[in-house]
Every structure is written in C-alpha cells, then in structure tokens.
Amino acid sequence: MKKIQKLVIFLVLISFLTYCFNYGIYQKVSNGGQAYLGDNLRSIDYTGTVSLLWNYSTGDKIYSSAALGDLDNDTKLEVVIGSNDGYLYVINGENGSQLWNYSTGYEVRSSPSLADLNNDSKLDVVIVGSDIYALNGENGTLIWNYTGLGGHSSPTIGDVDDDSKPEVIFGSWNNEVYALNGENGSLLWHFSTNDDVESSPALGDINADGKIEVVIGSDDEYVYALHGENGTELWKYHPKADVVSSPAIADVDFDEKLEVVVGCDTHEIFALNGETGSEEMFFTLGLISSSPAIADVDGNGWIDMIMAAEHGKVASATGYDRPSPSHAKIIWEIDLGDEIFSSPSIGEVDGDSKLEIVIGSYDNRTYALNGEDGSIAWNYTTGGSVHSSPVLGDLDGDGMLEVVVGSFDKNIYVLNPSISGNEIAWQALSGGSSFKRCKFLKMTPSTNLIPGFPITFVLFGVIAITILVKKKRWLLNQ
C-alpha cells in the first residue's frame, strides 16, 4: 500500500510541476515559440521610454513606409523609403548616412519592396512612382521600369506562377492589377477593375490548391481574389464601399483554413472565406484606410486582428469565443484622439517579453500599445503628422528592435526603445522579401478541462484514482 501511495504522490507532484512549467514560467506566443515571463520579469515596472537613434531629412512629406534589408551585403540593415520629393532613399541603418538615392520624377507615396530579382544573391528594390522601377540594391542603377502606371499601391513580390522566379504584383491608377516578370519587367498578366487600385496585394494559397492567389481591394468597392498564374478571377466580394485597405491573410477562425481580413469605408473589418469569398465575420470600428495586422497580441494562444480607423481608434478583435458566428469579439479598443492612416506593426518593443502594437497618428506621434489591453507603453513625438507605417528591425546590431517611421516634417526617424526584445510578429507595409501580408499559423492553444488546471494534471489525477480504486478492490477481494 505504501508503494501505491508513493506512486500517487509522485504522479501528483509531476503534474503540479508540469503545470508550473507550462503556466507559471512560459506563455505561448503567436509564432509557436515561447516568451520567458518568469517572476523576476513580472516584478519589473515597465514604464517605457524611447529615444532617437538618428533621423534623416528629405525634401518633402513622407507618406511611404520603410523596407529594411541588407542591400550592400555588409550583414547590416539599410533603410529604404520614398518621399513626396520624388526620391527613393537608401540610408545606412546604423548611423543615418545616405548610401544612394534615385529620382522618380514624381511623388513616392507607395512603399518599396525588396527581393533578389535577377538571382545574383543580392537584394534589389522595387518602387512605384509615376512608373514602376526595379533598382540595383547596391548602387541604385536601373534594372528595368514599366511605364505610365503611377499610383500609391505598394508592390508585393512573390512566385505566383510557380516558375521558381519572383514576380512583382501591384495596383495602379488606371484601374488595373499587374503582375510583371521580376527579372526583366515584362508583363505576365493584368486584371481590370472599375476604379483606381490603391490597395496593395496580399499573396497566399487561400483555397488550398497548392498555388498562390493574389488578393487586393479596389475603389470600385470590391475585394478581388485572382489566380496567381494567370490573373483570372477566383472570386470577388462587394462590401459596398471603397477598399483602400490592403488585405491580410490568416486563419482567424481556427478552422485550419485561410481567411482574408480587410477593412473598408463602411466602417467594418471583414473576415472572408478564402475559398469562396463569402463573409464569415466582421466587427465595426470606423472609416478604414489602414491595413490589418495579425498576431496573438495578448498571449492567450488565439491570434487577434488589429485594426485602426481614420477617426483615431485602434482595436484588437478575435474570432475565438465570438458573441455570434458572424461577429468577431472585440478584446479592447483605444481612442488615440486623432486621425490614423498608418498601419500597425507588431513586435516586442518595451522589454516585457510581450507583444506591442506600433502605429503612427496625425497627432505627430508614433505609439507603442500593449497588446494585452491597448494601453500606451510609450510614444514619440515628431514634427509632423505620421501617415507612414512603422517597421521594426535591429539597425544598430545590439540584439534589440528599433522602430523606423517617416513623418510629414520630411524626416525619417529611427526610434530606440530603452529596452526591447527581438521578436517581430507582424511587419506593416514594409514589403520585405519574405513579407506577403500573409500569416500561416498553426495555433495550438491550451485545452483546459477545468479553468486553471492543464489537461496533464487531469490525466495524472485520473491515473492515480484508477490505481487507488483497483488497489481497494484487490484488498476487498482478499
């Protein structure tokens, strides 16, 4: 009998330790990894501060968002961004000195994309001005351009026709969506909408056919899903308002299928079935020009949809435990008090091992908001409105993230939080070579049969009780 008692005590102890390990020390985050949240960190008061690492002055307002990449193969990041003065700038990420610039002859409001277009193992730059330009990343020389298609849509780069080579996809002011050969700029296909295309494309296999689709909005009040190989229509959705917002692709209702998340001028954010385009759920926030971000910002194992509205509100919503099948559940909402056209990035930027949302506002500030409740972790004031979307990266090589953002005061700012982590859960409209506005998540949230007790505890308890019952029956039979 003593051996049985010892075994039961051992099983209970193991289950308790398992509980402590899984719930007291570590917490799941959206990328499937783990963030350390031990008691020594919980006791710290995180009153965030942020300082200026450097700034660089251009000749006009900055609407564009930066792309970050190692363009000169020195293992360090450069900042690539456009300005309304018509130039694209490439800046040394460490100290803010200019490497090169390129004149497009027209305002550059779109955001650049980076990729190796010609298979030389070096990053090239693609930007939309009056034309679309592909530039050598090392020195800014022209590789190719495609003429007469000006716009504010930011190009997305990916292999959409399965030829193991990159294509460049973007929208234009002549109502078209284009896919160009990345090597030489020749036309692969184009698709006609009925109005300007200011939205930027998202790429993903939304119907699980093993091929990449292109999803984009138009001012003709439709969201379009197109076959990547030839540009033919898979489906379209009519929200009955302009769609300037760029879609995001992720599994937001946890059915192991991808949805398309997009905002529009009806004040709603919609999650659409990736296979059919039918509406699965929505939530209401306000007039939308910003684009969604997708990540598990509150650390509960379920991914969230982060969106900002023009009137100044930022909200986090989820498809988990929603009040009705058609309504997403709003977790929190904060009003920053001024217009927001900036799109959020998500990363660890205040040193608490939890995710923050970083976004700009027309009150001249860039904000870092705590992912758990939307409270302000820190903010930084520039000399003008912040239309640009902040992007995150370690520019000074200290192992911690900095924030890069443009302002209407003509400056590019690199902000240096006093302490930050190195996790980036979602990058805004940066156009990085691996960024397609698509998040493939295999979420494995905890399955607790009793609140506060992990399933391992329950299983060990069942085993222990079974052993005791069998032992009691054996003794009675004796």
Domains and CATH numbers, the chain: 2-30+455-477 (no CATH), 35-56+263-425 (2.40.128.630)
- Give the helix/strand (H/E) hosting 411: strand 411-417
- Sequence letter at residue 140: G
pLDDT for position 297: 96
Per the CB < 8 A criterion, the answer to whether 401 and 348 are in contact is: yes
- Measured CA to CA in angstroms, residue 127 lies from 69, 220, 434 at distances of 15, 24, 16
Per the CB < 8 A criterion, the answer to whether 123 and 105 are in contact is: no
Percent of the chain with pLDDT over 70: 79
Beta strands in 197-312 (DSSP E): 202-204, 213-217, 223-227, 233-237, 248-250, 259-263, 268-273, 279-284, 293-295, 304-308
pLDDT tens, 217-263? 999 999 999 999 999 999 999 999 999 999 999 999 999 999 999 99
pLDDT tens, 312-348? 999 999 999 888 999 999 999 999 999 999 999 999 9
For 251-267, give the DSSP string.
Answer: --SSSSS-EEEEE-TTS
Nearest 10 degrees: CA dihedral of 56, 59, 62, 63?
-150
Per the CB < 8 A criterion, the answer to whether 83 and 60 are in contact is: yes
Enter the pTM of the model: 0.82
pLDDT tens, 35-77? 222 333 222 334 468 999 999 999 999 999 999 999 999 999 9
Please give the span between the terminal C-alpha atoms of the chain, in angstroms, as a whole number: 14
- The answer for residues whose C-beta is within 8 angstroms of residue 232's C-beta and 6 or more apart is 191, 226
Structure tokens at 387: 């239309």
pLDDT for position 150: 79
Is residue 460 classed as helix, strand or coil in its secondary structure? helix
Task: Tell me the pLDDT band of 265, cut-offs 50, 70 and 90.
Answer: confident
pLDDT for position 33: 24
- Sequence letter at residue 51: S
Determine the Cα–Cα distance for residues 105 and 85; give it in Å rounded to an integer.
8
Task: Answer yes or no: is pLDDT of 103 > 70.
Answer: yes
pLDDT for position 409: 99
Determine the Cα–Cα distance for residues 184 and 197; give it in Å rounded to an integer.
23
Task: Answer yes or no: is pLDDT of 383 > 70.
Answer: yes
Per the CB < 8 A criterion, the answer to whether 407 and 63 are in contact is: no
State the pairing for strand pair 313-318/329-335: antiparallel
pLDDT for position 379: 97
Determine the Cα–Cα distance for residues 471 and 414; give it in Å rounded to an integer.
68
Of 69, 68, 111, 72, the C-alpha closest to 88 is: 111
Task: Tell me the pLDDT band of 123, cut-offs 50, 70 and 90.
Answer: very high
The number of residues in the chain equals: 478
